[in-house]
Amino acid sequence: MPLVPAPSPAPSLAATRWQGLPPVASAETVVLVLGSFPGAASLRLRQYYAHPQNHFWKILQALWPQHPLPPAGADDHYARRCEWLLARRLGLWDVYESCEREGSLDTAIRNAQVNDFARLHGHCPRLAALAHNGAESFRHAPAALASLESAHPTRIDAVRLPSTSPANASWSFDRKLAAWGELMAAHGLL
């Protein structure tokens, strides 16, 4: 049974401690994209990569142009995008379950609680790679791998990808696309 986001109320903007989003993954997931923690727009909408300037969805659409991404705007567009993502054998989650933060920058994260990656045991038997979306996520690669590999039948790669965040202006869209495409091709997803 796929792990997909369940509807939940948006958090209060006055809260100092933020709760992250649930994993989006299935038994077919080969690559699990791990961000650090959702930005303010994503938390408000309860959707991964909801900020319109984030390159995440644009990069994925560029990798699979033959499979149009459900457009933003419709009431069910996020659920349809999650289905689209799962059909490409990708999953989404974050390294942090909760944290304190003002704004959306990783540098502002304080008192973070790391997700329990063991929750994925048995749910993602084909998992071959953790695609860390940026440096903050990649800091937790050893712990995530140790948790997953303890009950996983095959080796799992951990790869640091350039962040798709608009704050990562040092990488052009084309450079980000090339790096993301290389990982997807290496795992037979292109």
Residue 55's CATH number: 3.40.470.10
Residue 22 falls inside a structural domain? no
Summarize the confidence of residues 163-181 as an average pLDDT.
Answer: 95
Q: Which residue has the higher pLDDT, 68 or 120?
A: 68
Summarize the confidence of residues 160-179 as an average pLDDT.
Answer: 95
Residue 151 falls inside a structural domain? yes
Could you confirm whether 133 is annotated as catalytic?
A: no
40 band by pLDDT with thresholds 50, 70 and 90: confident
pLDDT tops 80 at residue 13: no
Percent of the chain clearing pLDDT 70 (strictly above): 92
Residue 11, Cβ neighbours under 10 Å: how many? 14
Tell me the pTM.
0.88
Q: What's the pLDDT score for residue 14?
A: 44
Residue 41 falls inside a structural domain? yes
pLDDT tops 90 at residue 180: yes
**Average per-residue pLDDT in the chain?**
89
Residue 94 falls inside a structural domain? yes
Q: What's the pLDDT score for residue 2?
A: 65
List, for residues 84-102, the tens digit of each pLDDT value: 999 999 999 999 999 998 8
Residue 155 falls inside a structural domain? yes
Query: Which listed residue (54, 111, 133, 168) is catalytic?
Result: 54
Residue 19 falls inside a structural domain? no
Question: Rounded to an integer, what distance in angstroms lies between the CA atom of residue 121 and that of residue 119?
Answer: 6
Residue 3 falls inside a structural domain? no
Residue 162 burial by Cβ neighbours in a 10 Å radius (0-12, 13-18, 19+):
buried
Residue 11 falls inside a structural domain? no
Domain that holds residue 154: 32-186
Q: What's the pLDDT score for residue 5?
A: 55
Q: What's the pLDDT score for residue 176?
A: 97
List, for residues 126-160, the tens digit of each pLDDT value: 999 999 999 999 999 999 998 887 777 778 999 99
Question: Rounded to an integer, what distance in angstroms lies between the CA atom of residue 4 and that of residue 50?
Answer: 16
- Report how many domains make up the chain: 1
Q: What's the pLDDT score for residue 147?
A: 86
